[in-house]
Amino acid sequence: MLTLNPEQRDAVVHGDGPLLVLAGAGSGKTRVLTARVARLIENGVPPDRILAVTFTNKAAGEMRERIGDLLGQSTRGLWVGTFHSIAARLLRVEAIHTTRDRSFTIYDEDDSIRALKDVMEAAGFDAKRWSPKAVRNRISGAKNQLIGPSDYSPAPFDLISGIVAEVYPGYQKILTRRNAYDFDDLLFEAVRLLEDPEGVGGHYADRFLHVLVDEYQDTNHAQYRMVRALASAHRNLCVVGDDDQSIYAWRGADVRNILDFERDFEGAHVVRLEQNYRSTGAILEVANAVIECNVDRKPKRLRTDREHGDPIRIVRCGDERREASWVAGEIENARGRYGYEDFAILYRTNAQSRAFEEAFRRAGIPYRIVGGVPFYDRREIKDVLSYLRLAVNPADDAAFQRAIGWPRRGVGQVSLEKLAAAAAAADESFFATAARAREIEGMSKKAARGLFEFATGIEAVRSVLADITAREALEKCVATFALATALAEEEDGADRLDNVSELFATAASFDRDEVDDAAPEATDLELYLQTVALRSDLDDADFDGEAVTLMTLHNAKGLEFPVVFLAGMEEGLFPLSRAIESEGGLEEERRLFYVGVTRAMDRLSLTHADRRWRAGMESHSASSSFLDELPETHVEHTLGGGVRSRGGYAGGGSSYGRRSSRGSEREGGYGSAARRGGNGARGSRLDFSGSDPSPAAPGGSSFSWHREAGRKSPASGDGELEYDYADSQEPVELRAGTRVIHPLFGPGEIVTISGVGRDAKAEIDFDEVGRKKVMVAYAGLRPS
């Protein structure tokens, strides 16, 4: 059933001992990794003694799914997860051996920058002069190198490193006091735990007979040490990667990890996968030529059995609008031979998506953007989640600050500073201090009242937390603090309400059993928050549905598309001028180019514009120096329109070859495989409806729900909403005319019902927010 070439087979059947798989782009590395795990299980290795580590949740989910498919049985017990989620699991299970307790919060970049800013200002550094972000990046880099606050020494003549040395200890102290880890701490502390000779590390090393790591070229030092510790007892470590696709060095990834593997793990067996199953001969020739310009790499050369195919096109355009409309035109021309979902536009910077969005909208081409502003980074989502975070972890002062500030409740910056001072004096959390705000000297009456009521509300949520699901907790917060009402009153409240409604959907569909590396002791809500914190936009990206995909090159790694456009091939933009300032930066940019080229299966076009609006200015740039490195024999030059000067190139039109067989024996990279369940389009801005919620919905042809006998008190003076929960479970019919209460939108009357089962939608005329369509499965409707 599963056919493997000899090299792939070699990697799959390799027995004990370290194994390095150097897997070129499109060479079937995912297939090797999954087949290897499946074979281990078939040969009797218990699933719970195998650990597979990936970089994204999405990759983890897909690996698990594929292994299950291969085995035809459950993969229960198998540990598959990202470095960060596995570290989080470890830290939760072994919380007593750490400096945090089990309900710790995970700080994202934003949270940690805010915390750091507080520390910097307290230490007398002007946040305008010294960017907290830059300082955070330095701390992040140090943590990735496993350099703790006491080990950090500033470099001479490096002012920022001097600041780091001064604030790093304070920053770490604040995180500990707030019972929080930042992303890097998760790895740092996990390594500490695993490498402690007195500690529990030995238990885990003994436990895992086999450890497998995907995308090994992207590991940083902390991740390397984590892997090394986990595999130390049995030495059955299999790593898969491609040094040519290392594109995260700027973020601490150390390509030496893969280059030095044979030295680090003596006796390692090495397998090279150089047979590409994805691209045409022409595309592969170009890819090889690109990457051979790099000096610092292991020599290798991809080959393919596919036809030579069409030449790669280089398209010169006048500006970014012409670039986008040229691409739109090409897509329309090639329709029929390809579906919209077969096209991808890849660019270096997110800002480039804009011109394409406009062009596609004009042309009526459906598209999806992967990345951009992630769903969970939206202001209203973070605001609402901060209530949950605070309820779970009252020591989380960052969550407190966020929640207290929205909705406005008479507690401004001045009061907050007084509170902070009082909290520091008493060595308490903001939350604990807020409950006795009245006693704080100089606190205004109004502020004290606001603080007290806020603390009381959080306490009320906390008191029921142990017994409720993530969704119920969310509902409770929204109800207690009238968050929906506050949102509805805002200027662009409608969109924001919709987003929060979407958040309800994610919470409703959250199932701890789908968290691959759930710590058994964690509560539903803790796991939900962890999942949210460690989720990337990419994980939610929905590649189903007829739409052209737009994303950055970084996000495209691991994916493949029949027709690819690499846009913005201009010097300064790609290679990005900022990126090439650092050492090895140009080679990393070139690897990124290589990643882009190797995404294409059949057709590849590289576009560049003479003029482009960047940061509010028109910039003029020469075409990318990367274009000069391509072998002329496989390249064709075309004019995309709008070019002002004479010259340029002639010829070229759009001459698409016959559509190649899609889905034959080529291996699907992550992402082209069908997704399980998926929660629709959350992360990505989707201008094309693709929402397809999956969890079971109540009712089949006749709708009913379980009555919770909730009663809403009529809106009081300032629009407070309040719910009384009781437990009667009487099924109630749902049809047009029924009065219902939506947890977010309040009371309303059903206008129409459409769809059945999980797809059932109700159109409801809400008293406060007007007419809206909601998914019955998620809405959490109650009878009125």
Partner DNA sequence: TTCCCTCGTATTTTT
Partner DNA sequence: TACGAGGGAA
d(CA 425, CA 416): 14
Q: Six-digit token pair at 367? A: 């598209």
Among candidate residues 214, 341, 537, 560, the one labeled active-site is: 214
For DNA, give the closer residue by CB, 282 or 458.
Answer: 458
For DNA, give the closer residue by CB, 128 or 646.
Answer: 128
- Partners of 573 in the β-ladder: 576
For DNA, give the closer residue by CB, 229 or 411.
Answer: 411
For DNA, give the closer residue by CB, 573 or 639.
Answer: 573
Q: What is the dihedral of CA 717, 721, 724, 729, to 10 degrees?
A: 140
Reply yes or no on whether 245 is catalytic.
Answer: yes
| Strand residues in 42-146 grouped as ranges (E) | 50-54, 79-82, 105-107
For DNA, give the closer residue by CB, 216 or 703.
Answer: 216
The DSSP secondary structure of 284-346, one letter per residue, reads HHHHHHHHTT-SSS-----EE-S---SPEEEEEESSHHHHHHHHHHHHHHHBTTB-GGGEEEE
Shortest separation between residue 701's beta carbon and DNA, angstroms:
39
- Smallest CA-to-CA distance from 316 within 614, 637, 744 is with 637
Shortest separation between residue 749's beta carbon and DNA, angstroms:
31
d(CA 235, CA 265): 8
Shortest separation between residue 536's beta carbon and DNA, angstroms:
1
Shortest separation between residue 224's beta carbon and DNA, angstroms:
12
Shortest separation between residue 266's beta carbon and DNA, angstroms:
26
Shortest separation between residue 108's beta carbon and DNA, angstroms:
7
Q: Six-digit token pair at 549? A: 């995909």
Sign of CA dihedral 514, 516, 521, 524: negative
For DNA, give the closer residue by CB, 352 or 501.
Answer: 352
Shortest separation between residue 698's beta carbon and DNA, angstroms:
32
For DNA, give the closer residue by CB, 39 or 378.
Answer: 378
Sign of CA dihedral 272, 278, 280, 282: negative
273 in Cβ contact with 21 (< 8 Å): yes
Reply yes or no on whether 215 is catalytic.
Answer: yes
- Smallest CA-to-CA distance from 538 within 640, 416, 681, 720 is with 681
Residues whose CB is less than 8 angstroms from the CB of residue 138 and which lie 6 or more positions away in sequence, other chains included = 160, 161, 164
Reply yes or no on whether 300 is catalytic.
Answer: no
Q: Six-digit token pair at 409? A: 């409740």
Among candidate residues 7, 10, 30, 172, the one labeled active-site is: 30
Reply yes or no on whether 599 is catalytic.
Answer: yes
For DNA, give the closer residue by CB, 284 or 559.
Answer: 559
Among candidate residues 215, 341, 380, 540, the one labeled active-site is: 215
For DNA, give the closer residue by CB, 108 or 341.
Answer: 108
The CA distances from residue 314 to 29, 150, 356, 652, in Å, are 30, 53, 18, 9
Shortest separation between residue 4's beta carbon and DNA, angstroms:
25
Host H or E run for residue 64:
helix 57-71
Shortest separation between residue 535's beta carbon and DNA, angstroms:
6
Question: Which chain residues interact with DNA by CB under 7 A?
Answer: 55-58, 82, 84-85, 109, 127-128, 133, 183-184, 215, 218, 248, 250-253, 348-351, 354, 371, 379, 408-415, 444, 446-447, 534-539, 552, 554-555, 557, 576, 578-579, 582, 613-616
Shortest separation between residue 54's beta carbon and DNA, angstroms:
8
Burial (0-12, 13-18, 19+ Cβ within 10 Å), 289: middle
d(CA 776, CA 501): 12
- Smallest CA-to-CA distance from 197 within 208, 207, 205, 209 is with 205
For DNA, give the closer residue by CB, 74 or 413.
Answer: 413
- Smallest CA-to-CA distance from 504 within 781, 104, 111 is with 781
What 410-414 contacts at long range (C-beta under 8 Å, 24+ apart), as own/partner pairs, is: 410/446, 410/447, 410/449, 410/450, 411/447, 411/450, 411/451, 411/454, 412/447
d(CA 759, CA 696): 9
Reply yes or no on whether 214 is catalytic.
Answer: yes
Among candidate residues 102, 297, 599, 758, the one labeled active-site is: 599
Query: Prior bond to 575 cis, omega within 30?
Result: yes
Q: Could you give the angle at the alpha carbon of 670 between the alpha carbons of 188 and 273, nearest 5°?
A: 90
Angle between helices 132-144 and 221-230 (to 10 degrees): 30
Among candidate residues 29, 313, 402, 772, the one labeled active-site is: 29
Shortest separation between residue 668's beta carbon and DNA, angstroms:
18
For DNA, give the closer residue by CB, 624 or 738.
Answer: 624
Shortest separation between residue 235's beta carbon and DNA, angstroms:
24
For DNA, give the closer residue by CB, 379 or 735.
Answer: 379
Q: Could you give the angle at the alpha carbon of 753 between the alpha carbons of 751 and 759, nearest 5°?
A: 140
367 in Cβ contact with 583 (< 8 Å): no
Among candidate residues 105, 145, 172, 245, the one labeled active-site is: 245
- Smallest CA-to-CA distance from 290 within 244, 247, 343, 258 is with 244
d(CA 649, CA 760): 55
Cα atoms found within 13 Å of the Cα of residue 418, Cβ hemisphere only: 18
Q: Annotated catalytic sites, by residue? A: 29-30, 214-215, 245, 599
